[in-house]
């Protein structure tokens, strides 16, 4: 009988102990509260328990969305692009700790280090020294001088750009170092200001949403805006342009005052069939 009562008392003691695990005196922390990963990458989170008088307590792990990232004993594996939360908890308690997981498709490998420096300063949300495809997709506006940027090949990663201002620091041709600009992937662009550079050509045929184009003070000898039927402003003076290809039915009179500026002498508008 005495043995029976000892067992009962032990069970009650363990029950009381477990009921106290979620008390404020105990805490659980993870080695990180937020991580950015790319698909198929794995990292390990470490759980640290404080205030609990038990050696190596059992830690239970779970992912709030295993389709984004899974977890196995602290090892997190990214599955696909998206966001989820990894939760660690002390067994038989309400004590938990969380880590936000952001999964991107890739990290950008920049061609131009000066453009990379600009992006890291303004668009590296979690300050990990890298720009992910997820971070790039959140960027809608860019505004920077191009005096030390010759090429913008990396702009293709920023597919949701609406306004791109990349110009020389003074109002003259060649002030900016930009010699080429590929915006064919930036199909959401509504405003493109690339004046005061060294551009000899500019292809905006894919930018059908474009409303304002300022490409003045470059080295362009022709310009094709035949696909840009939403255009409301065009400033292209200060180039060597002799011909501007326009859409069928183009009418200079449809532009508001001072919204269409070009070198009047020698410039010819030609409808592109």
**β pairing state of 191-193 and 163-167:** parallel
Q: Which residues contact 60 (CB under 8 A, 6 or more apart)?
A: 88, 89, 90, 91
Min mean pLDDT across 4-13, 98-107, 198-207, 222-231 is at 4-13
Beta bridge partners of 37: 103
Q: Which residues contact 23 (CB under 8 A, 6 or more apart)?
A: none
pTM summary value: 0.81
Give the C-alpha separation, 134 to 113, whole Å: 20
Q: How do residues 137-195 score in pLDDT, each as one tens digit?
A: 999 999 999 999 999 999 999 999 999 999 999 877 888 999 999 999 999 999 999 99
* 120-136: average pLDDT: 95
> In the prediction, which pLDDT does 174 show?
82
> In the prediction, which pLDDT does 8 show?
38
If you average pLDDT over every residue of the chain, what do you get? Answer: 89
Q: Residue 14: pLDDT above 60?
A: no
Confidence of residue 7 (pLDDT cuts 50, 70, 90): very low
* 252 or 7, higher pLDDT: 252
The answer to whether the beta carbons of residues 63 and 78 sit under 8 Å apart is no
> In the prediction, which pLDDT does 272 show?
83
CA atoms within 13 A on the CB side of 252: 11
Q: How do residues 42-94 score in pLDDT, each as one tens digit?
A: 999 999 998 766 667 899 999 999 999 999 999 999 999 999 999 999 988 88
Q: How do residues 201-217 score in pLDDT, each as one tens digit?
A: 999 999 999 999 999 99
Q: How do residues 151-161 score in pLDDT, each as one tens digit?
A: 999 999 999 99
Task: Name the percent of the chain lying above pLDDT 70.
Answer: 89
């Amino acid at each position: 009988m005495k043995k029976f009562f000892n067992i009962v008392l032990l069970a009650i003691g363990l029950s009381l102990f477990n009921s106290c695990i979620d008390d404020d005196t105990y805490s659980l922390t993870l080695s990180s509260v937020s991580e950015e990963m790319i698909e198929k990458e794995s990292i390990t989170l470490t759980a640290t328990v404080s205030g609990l008088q038990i050696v190596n307590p059992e830690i239970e792990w779970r992912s709030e969305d295993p389709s984004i990232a899974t977890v196995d004993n602290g090892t997190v594996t990214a599955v696909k692009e998206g966001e989820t939360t990894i939760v660690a908890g002390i067994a038989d308690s309400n004590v938990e700790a969380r880590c936000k997981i952001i999964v991107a498709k890739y990290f950008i490998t920049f061609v131009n280090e000066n453009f990379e420096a600009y992006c890291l300063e303004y668009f590296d949300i979690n300050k990990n020294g890298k720009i992910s495809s997820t971070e790039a997709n959140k960027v809608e506006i860019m505004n920077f001088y191009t005096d030390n940027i010759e090429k913008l090949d990396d702009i293709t990663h920023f597919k949701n750009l609406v306004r791109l201002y990349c110009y020389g620091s003074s109002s003259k041709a060649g002030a900016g170092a930009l010699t080429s600009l590929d915006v064919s992937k930036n199909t959401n662009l509504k405003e493109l200001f690339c004046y005061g550079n060294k551009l000899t050509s500019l292809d905006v045929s894919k930018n059908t949403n474009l409303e304002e184009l300022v490409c003045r003070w470059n080295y362009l000898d022709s310009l094709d805006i035949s696909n840009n039927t939403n255009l409301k402003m065009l400033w292209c003076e200060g180039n060597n342009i002799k011909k501007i290809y326009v859409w069928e039915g183009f009418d200079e009179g449809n532009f508001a005052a001072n919204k269409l500026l070009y070198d009047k002498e020698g410039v010819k508008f030609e409808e592109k069939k």
